[in-house]
Amino acid sequence: MRVEQMMNGANEVGRKLKAIVDYVRDCQARVSKGEIMDLQGLDNNVIEVCDAIAGLPEKEGQRLESQMNQLIGSLEVLVRTMREQQDSFVDTGAG
């Protein structure tokens, strides 16, 4: 694989990763407002991007490390927000 192709591959994976991070952050904001979100397919998208990163040369994959950390952090915030909303729902006797 040529260097240019590897760079394009890493850039494409980076774009996909950013889109997932943005989506997760949007979901978290919406859940915090009480919206119910359908996260179907998010797990597959995360798996696909992780597999794509694993397929990159090590140096290119390392370039995406901070974005992966952002994704992990955003997912953790989303999980906490969903739990808080669920607890709030149960506490009000609605659930």
Domain ranges of the chain: 3-90
Least confident of 6-10, 56-60, 91-95: 91-95
Contact in structure between 85 and 34 (CB atoms under 8 Å): yes
- Give the model's pLDDT for residue 2: 52
User: How many residues comprise the chain?
Assistant: 95
- Give the model's pLDDT for residue 73: 98
- Helix/strand/coil for 48: helix
The residue-averaged pLDDT of 55-73 equals: 95
Distance CA 13, CA 11 (A): 5
Q: Which residue has the tokens 């659930």?
A: 95
> To the nearest whole number, what is the mean pLDDT of the chain?
89
Distance CA 71, CA 23 (A): 10
- Give the model's pLDDT for residue 4: 53
Contact in structure between 89 and 35 (CB atoms under 8 Å): no
pLDDT digits (tens, 9 = 90+) for 6-27: 557 889 999 999 999 999 999 9
